[in-house]
């Protein structure tokens, strides 16, 4: 849950800069918002990776449930037909 708390703290810390940028047209606040959003993106990717690794390690630990098989790709005939030629 530490990651979730950090995520909430980051979003809350950006609130004032969002207000300054959107309500008062402060361009420096916009720069801080962009920087914070990049940090948010990086943090989200880190959390996604941790969750995926935890999920995969739990599935590989000998659980009785097996992962479902992937579906086959749609056949080539399912593609859109070319539009009719104009006269």
C-alpha distance across the termini of the chain, in Å: 65
Average pLDDT (67-73) is 58
Q: Which residue would you say has higher pLDDT here, 75 or 10?
A: 10
pLDDT at 77 over 60: no
What local confidence, expressed as pLDDT, does residue 60 receive? Answer: 79
- The confidence score (pLDDT) of residue 76 equals 55
**pLDDT per position as a tens digit, 11-62:** 999 999 999 999 999 999 999 999 999 999 999 999 999 999 999 998 877 6
The residue extents of the domains of the chain are 1-56
Alpha carbon 22 to its chain's center: 24
Token pair for 22: 């959107």
């Amino acid at each position: 849950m530490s990651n979730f708390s950090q995520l909430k703290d980051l979003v809350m810390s950006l609130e004032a800069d969002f207000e300054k940028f959107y309500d008062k047209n402060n361009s420096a606040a916009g720069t801080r918002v962009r920087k914070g959003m990049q940090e948010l993106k990086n943090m989200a990717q880190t959390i996604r990776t941790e969750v995926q690794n935890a999920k995969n390690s739990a599935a590989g630990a000998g659980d009785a449930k097996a992962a479902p098989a992937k579906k086959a790709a749609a056949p080539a005939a399912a593609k859109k037909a070319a539009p009719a030629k104009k006269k």
